[in-house]
Structures are given as structure tokens and as C-alpha cells.
Amino acid sequence: MFHWKKREDIWKGVGIYHLTFVLRPRRPLLGTLVDDKVNPRTALSQLGIDALTQMNHTLLLRPNIQFLAVSMMPDHIHVLIYVKSDIGESIKQLARGMRQGWWLKDHALDFEPPFIRTLSRKGQLKSMIEYVHDNPRRALVKRHNPGLFHLRRNLPVTRGGHTLTFSAMGNPFLLDYPERQAVQCSRSLTDEQIESQCNLVLHQAARTGCVTYSGAISHGEQFIMRAVRENRFPMVIVLKDGFPPEGSPHERYFKPGGVYFETCSLGRLLLLEPTAGTAEDSTVVTRTDNALRAKAEARHRAYAPLPHDSARWQMMRNNVLVEWLAE
């Protein structure tokens, strides 16, 4: 019986799964991107045709598996599958069989173990199908805007004579805009209060052309920053985490997901993640502790210092960095 899986569910049984297979070592053997504004696509090589044929053969052998979407890229393959009934093995085992089939077809088709994602809700399925089919266009956009999709490490930012460093992707010149505003929303705000704050933020952005900074964590912050993006105003998002670790295999190929990708390609977005040095900076630590103490005192509660690796402390640290950046 079908049911939407939770994120923590094991990769087994009836469900919908997104698999990404990458050739070792990212060799573009499956085809070439066709830079067509109307129909961006991958023109398959003979190896690409062989890989697609072998994958279709897997489908014929397993009628209880349906391919919902496939995107052949020069160096990797995206596959969205619907497992309609128990196949007697895990998705990892299925993927291992697919990789073995490709390798037996041609030893050049040597794929790494795939990245596997379990889909957990109906709306996610539509978005994922669109994402899979949109991969050639997104790759071409990234190719045409290399600077905007370059992951910078230790980018220095100075405010008031104090310098902190961040990992960054997007348009770093947004940091130089003299007009800045911060968006922070308590989780206790009503919808009416959030909408009122949103109107003030949009008015300020339209009037002064300022850059809007936020961690986009709470519902209110996400609502307002979505409005900022939809109105095509520049924005800076401070991430608690989000970029691949330095030196990891995925670092070179990282790009923002979803709507952030489009906003980044237009030069209206900068993503920042504090480096370890910034997270441990004495000024940042002191301001974070003071902010937490002030919140406790406002509620007439005794302040108990939080561990710096706790989610609550790190969320407040990000709020402090948003305020600092927007000063």
C-alpha cells in the first residue's frame, strides 16, 4: 500500500525515490549540452544511448517499478522512480544492480553509488519532476554565469572596523550596498503582524533600493523573504549550514536549489554561511549570549547559558550575524 514516506524512513518498499548516478570521476561521456533557449537538452553520445537503453531494460524486467522522470546529463543521470509494490530488496540494492548492468554494458559506464532521496509529500513530487526535466537548462545557466555560482571560502566582510569571514555563493557586491535592512520575526507573530512587517520591508526596499538580510528561518521570515524575492529586490540569506564541507566531493558541483537558483543567476542573491572562525569570534559569542539573556529577562526568566552547539544558540547566532551585516 502506498504512503508518503517520512524523511527518516529507510530506502525500501513502496514509495517514490529520486536517484542521482554520477560517472567516475565526473567524466562527460554521456553526451553534450545543447544551448537552445527553446529546448535546452543533452545530445546523447553512443554511451549515453547505451546507458538509457540499459535503464529501460531494467524497467522491462521490473513491471512493479515505474520511471516517472529521467534526465540524462553529460556526467550524471537523474532518475525518479515509483516502486508500486515490494521488490524484495532495498533501493540501494536496486541501484547496485543498475550500476552493475551499466558496467557490464560498457566498462566506461562506471557510476558511483547514487545519492538517494525519499519523497515525502505530494507537492514535492511535482517539484522534483520539474527539477529533473529542468537540469539541462540549469546547467547551461550555471555555465553562462560562472562567477555567481562560484563557492567562495573565507570571504571577508567588514562592518564598523570589525571583519568576519563567510563561505559565500552569489553576488558578493550586494554586501557593498550602503542601504541595508534586516528581517527577523518572532515565531509568536500573527499572520496580520507578519503581513504588516512585510509591507514595511517591501516599502523600504522600493524606496531606497536597499538589500534585505535575513536567516529566513521562522515562518514570518520565510514569508517576507519570499515577497522580497518575488518583487525582484536584492537579498542576502545567512545560512546556519548549507554548503558542502570544504574538500568534499560535492563542493565543486554545489548550486542553490529551487527558486534560489533563478534569483542567484540574476545577481539578486547572496548566500552566506559563517566560517568556524566567525562562529567562534568573541564579539559574535558575546552578542549572542547577550541576546539570549535579554530574551529571557524580557520574559522574566532566569537566564541559563546554552551550549554553543545547540540549535537554539546557533539560531540566535545567525540572528546576531544578520543584524551585524545589516548595520
| Spatial separation of the C-alpha atoms in residues 256 and 244, rounded to whole Å | 11
Could you give the percent of the chain with pLDDT greater than 90?
A: 39
Mean pLDDT value of segment 22-47 = 90
Tens-place pLDDT, residues 183-216: 998 888 899 999 999 999 999 888 778 899 999 9
Mean pLDDT value of segment 299-311 = 79
Q: Tell me which residue of 71, 73, 70, 69 sits closest to 26, measured CA to CA.
A: 73
Can you give the pTM of this predicted structure?
Answer: 0.67
Specify the residue for cell string 529542468: 134
Q: Tell me which residue of 24, 23, 6 sits closest to 15, measured CA to CA.
A: 6
- Tell me which of 11 and 88 has the higher pLDDT: 88
The whole-number pLDDT of residue 10 equals 60
Confidence at 80, pLDDT banded by 50, 70, 90: very high
The whole-number pLDDT of residue 9 equals 54
pLDDT of residue 115 exceeding 60:
yes
- Tell me which of 60 and 229 has the higher pLDDT: 229
Mean pLDDT value of segment 78-84 = 91
Q: 172 by DSSP, 3-state: which?
A: helix
Which residues have a Cβ under 8 Å from the Cβ of 279 and sit 6 or more positions away?
308, 317
- Tell me which of 243 and 300 has the higher pLDDT: 243
The sign of the dihedral angle between the CA atoms of 65, 69, 70, 73 is negative
Confidence at 5, pLDDT banded by 50, 70, 90: low
The single-letter DSSP state of residue 23 is B
| Spatial separation of the C-alpha atoms in residues 304 and 295, rounded to whole Å | 11
Phi and psi at 46, nearest 5°, equal -65, -35
| Spatial separation of the C-alpha atoms in residues 82 and 18, rounded to whole Å | 9
The whole-number pLDDT of residue 250 equals 75
Tens-place pLDDT, residues 227-275: 999 998 999 999 987 888 888 877 777 888 778 888 988 888 999 999 9
Mean pLDDT value of segment 134-157 = 86
The whole-number pLDDT of residue 179 equals 86
Mean pLDDT value of segment 171-178 = 87
Opening angle at CA 188, ends 186 and 190, nearest 5: 105
Tally Cβ neighbours within 10 Å of residue 4: 14
The single-letter DSSP state of residue 174 is G
Mean pLDDT value of segment 70-95 = 89
Confidence at 4, pLDDT banded by 50, 70, 90: low
CB 24 within 8 A of CB 35: no
The whole-number pLDDT of residue 7 equals 52
| Spatial separation of the C-alpha atoms in residues 13 and 64, rounded to whole Å | 11
Q: What integer best gives the mean pLDDT of the chain?
A: 87
Bridge partner list, 76: 22
Confidence at 8, pLDDT banded by 50, 70, 90: very low
User: Which residue intervals of the chain are DSSP H helices?
Assistant: 46-61, 91-105, 122-133, 135-144, 191-208, 219-230, 258-265, 276-279, 282-298, 311-326
- Tell me which of 273 and 299 has the higher pLDDT: 273
| Spatial separation of the C-alpha atoms in residues 231 and 263, rounded to whole Å | 11
Mean pLDDT value of segment 17-40 = 90
CB 251 within 8 A of CB 150: no
What's the chain's Rg over C-alpha atoms? 23
- Tell me which of 296 and 272 has the higher pLDDT: 272
CB 12 within 8 A of CB 116: no
Confidence at 6, pLDDT banded by 50, 70, 90: low
Take residue 277 and report the three cell numbers written for it: 572562525
The whole-number pLDDT of residue 134 equals 85
Tally Cβ neighbours within 10 Å of residue 284: 19
Q: 307 by DSSP, 3-state: which?
A: coil
| Spatial separation of the C-alpha atoms in residues 132 and 80, rounded to whole Å | 8
Peptide bond into 25 cis (omega under 30): yes
Furthest CA-CA distance within the chain: 71
Mean pLDDT value of segment 53-70 = 88
Could you give the percent of the chain with pLDDT greater than 70?
A: 96
